[in-house]
Structure 1
Amino acid sequence: MTGGWDGIDEFVAVAETGGFTRAAERLRLSSSHVSRSVARLEDRLQARLFYRTTRKVSLTESGRAFLARCQRLAEERDEAFLAVGDLQGDGPGEAKGLLRMTCATAYGERFVVPLVNELLERHPRLSVEIELTNRTLDLVQEGYDLAIRLGRLNESSLVATRIAPRAMHLCAAPAYLERHGIPDSLGALAGHQCLIGTSDGWLFDEGGRDWLFRPRGRWRCNSGVAVLDAALRGFGLCQLPDYYVKEPVAEGRLVPLLERHRPPNTAVWAVYPQKRHVPPKVHAAIRHLRQGLAKRPEYR
């Protein structure tokens, strides 16, 4: 097959943002360019990658399979660029100066900060300042080098690279389901108690389309750990990322529900301001976080 990487970045951006316009904004290209690139890629593959309507773009079965492989290829390509970028320092892997970064509180405490501490041990000339907050900070205006963000990204002029997968699961404890029954459809969710976390909307997949549910219940907290605890106690349904529920599901303490409607995998992103030459400290942090997260049992 000829064409190499032509159309791959455009295809991944459309799949991850859910539309050609948002993909064009992420890539800083025109919508027509993105559309033509994806069309040429489909011609080369002799396969349809997206269902297109005037209001919605969704992946075909072939598109879903192709996306997973393209994301892995893109990560490996990013790794290659990061390895070369390291050579900008005083020596291979050199990272120095102050790295200012931000991340959501719970995820940062559990995953990011321990890995950043490892990075500091390896780079004695590096110092770090980490702001853990659930607010989305303006990296440029507030002078941050790097942010770790979760889920679907809003369109922006920032550079984003995927460092880990992130899948959302609807779950409940067996005790809750014994009392209230098992929801057998998306429409049945309205009759259940829901444990509400940081999001007022739960996203599901309905025939290749996004289906948004507004959960209702008498319990709310902006902590995933707290939501998990309430779910394990049988208070209601929860929708949480895989790294919270993988172990309880494997142990039978939580039951996954409506898995056929699970939304397409979102991701964990490293996001940074667009610059002509990205500092080695940012390269080093991204690479270390990606490699470290891949070793965590929650992501295996």
Structure 2
Amino acid sequence: MSRWDGIDEFTAVAEQASFSGASKRLGLSTSAVSREIARLEDRLQTRLLHRTTRRVELTDAGREFLARCRRLIDERDEALAAIQPDDHAPRGLLRMTCSVSYGERFIAPAVNAFARQYPELRIDLDLDNRLRDMVGEGYDLAIRFGHLTDSRLMARKLASRTLILCASPDYLERRGAPRDLSEIASHDTLTGSSPQWRFTEGGRE
């Protein structure tokens, strides 16, 4: 049971001066409104309303409680409206990270256009090739090449790329060209930032 239970019902009955009027305003049955207020009075150990067959009146405690309830409801509704604006436009801070070359060429222009469209949104774009701990470092979004290895995250594929294994003519003259994948491990390689190389051979990865 929430400590808010009964407050909206009590305020509606007090302002409408009737249970039927409050039930119409809240979209609840009269019995449901009556039940919530009875539970509220039981929790408070205080009578808030005088009920007669023709009218509902506030007790002294009820009048004092109504003034406080109105302030609570107004502040609650303002708080909800502040984070759920009518236009649903993005607001606040979006922290994202992307590799340097891809970010400069593709992501930064898209982010600039997005920021112009939503001027109340602040975007912090960190261009860095290092793998980041998104959760630990407080990032909302990371754009990276490769496969997702952190089970705490969700991924969506944006695009694909093809990597080509190549060597200089001078190197191949000195070391020879590998005839199959098993020979690559014995060659000198520049691995870059990727911890794994993935090959497709005969349609199989």
**TM-score class normalised by the smaller sequence:** 0.3 to 0.5
Q: Which has the higher contact order (CA 8 A, sep 6+)?
A: 1
**If the length of structure 2 is used for normalisation, what is the TM-score?**
0.47
- Larger C-alpha radius of gyration, 1 or 2? 2
Normalized per residue, the structure richer in strand is: 1
TM-score between both structures, scaled by the size of structure 1: 0.34
